[in-house]
Every structure is written in C-alpha cells, then in structure tokens.
Amino acid sequence: MATVKATTKVKIVSPDLPHKAEDSGLEFSKETEAKIKRILKRYPEDKAQSALIPVLKLAQDEFGGWLSTGAMQLTAERLELPYIRVYEVATFYTMFNLKPVGKYHVQVCTNCSCMIRGSDTIIEAVKEFTGINTNGGMSDDSLFTLTEVECLGACVDAPMMQINNGYHTKLDKEKTLQILDALKKGDAVETATPTTPMKDSY
C-alpha cells in the first residue's frame, strides 16, 4: 500500500529586515531584532524553539508590557513555530501578561518570607495609593497595575516588590508609598540589586 508523505511549507524570514506579522501590524524594532539574532546564535538552527521564552520576554517589553495575540503571532512567525506552541508557553508562565498592564506593573511577593515580614501591609499600601481593589487590577489613570505573586527570589530582603524590571526590597508602608509617589511624579527611583541578581544577557 502506497503511503503519502505530508509536506509543510516553511515561511522563510529575511535575516536582514525587522520581521513583521502579516495580520497584526506589529514588527520588532531593529534593536529587538538584533537581540533576537544574538539569542538564536546560542542554539542549533533547528532548535529555535529553545529561544522562545527570552524572545517572548523581548516581545512583552517592546509591546506595552503584555502579550497580545498579535505579539504572540509575531513571535511564532519569527521563530517559525506553531502559534499554539507560543500560546502554551505564554499562558503557563506567570511573568507573561496576557492583558494590558499599567505603565508601572507592581508585583508584590506574597510567599512565606515576605508574608511573615509584612507583605500584606505592602499590598494594602499599594491599594491605598493607587485605588486598585483587585489582584491584577489597573488604576484609573492606567499608571499602575497590582499583582500578587509568588517568590521573586529575594527572600533575604523581604518584604519586597518588583516594579517592571526593578526590585524594591526591605519595604515598609512608608517606603512603599514614597516609591509609588515618586513614580507618579515621574521621578527616578533607585532599585535594589538582589542578593542573586538576574541579568539580561541579550
């Protein structure tokens, strides 16, 4: 009995141009595309899926702090992966946001060390300042989103919160309110260096 071999048409992406998703209108900037190329060089050509998590992080950073359907489609096309593979990863890891977030995404750790040392007070301070009443909610001015999260790896400096990519540690209510007020005014805010720092190597 004869067998029929299925073939798959692979879309070739020009390595010299920023990649653009046909339907979403999104495209990676030249700077992000350069970072993607550096990431892909770490893996064999047929193992592009290994770069999915860091490329999704780049996409989230570039497109407003969250992953829209278009951003995930763009990532899938750039890495020549099925869209469902990208969606599975984006929905599994909590560091990926699947709905819009404020300019400042405030993530307060609620794990054991932070909770014992008063993270509930930090959450209440954020709610008081921003007017946010629900976990994952956004302030009316779209400046802040509050999310309660699990361990962020800075237990020795508890309680702590992460705002965008910066850590703020050894918090109390007063310090928390000072940080939020400075951000609202557009002032620079010093971030902490975790005991075990996590660095972007893109």
Per-residue pLDDT tens over the stretch 73-91:
999 999 999 999 999 999 9
d(CA 144, CA 93): 21
The first and second tokens of residue 39, run together, are 């990431």
Q: Which one-letter DSSP state was computed for residue 47?
A: G
Amino acid (one-letter) located at 55: V
Q: Which one-letter DSSP state was computed for residue 155?
A: G
pLDDT at 21: 54
Taking 70 as the pLDDT cut, the residues of the chain under it are 1-24, 193-202
Amino acid (one-letter) located at 115: M
- pTM for this model (two decimals): 0.76
Residues 131-157 as b/e (b if ≥16 CB within 10 A, e otherwise) read ebeeeebbbeeeebbbbbbeebbbbeb
d(CA 39, CA 54): 8
**Could you give phi then psi for residue 149, rounded to 5 degrees?**
-130, 170
- Please, what is the Cα angle at 54 between 142 and 34, to 5 degrees? 95
d(CA 174, CA 185): 17
d(CA 35, CA 54): 10
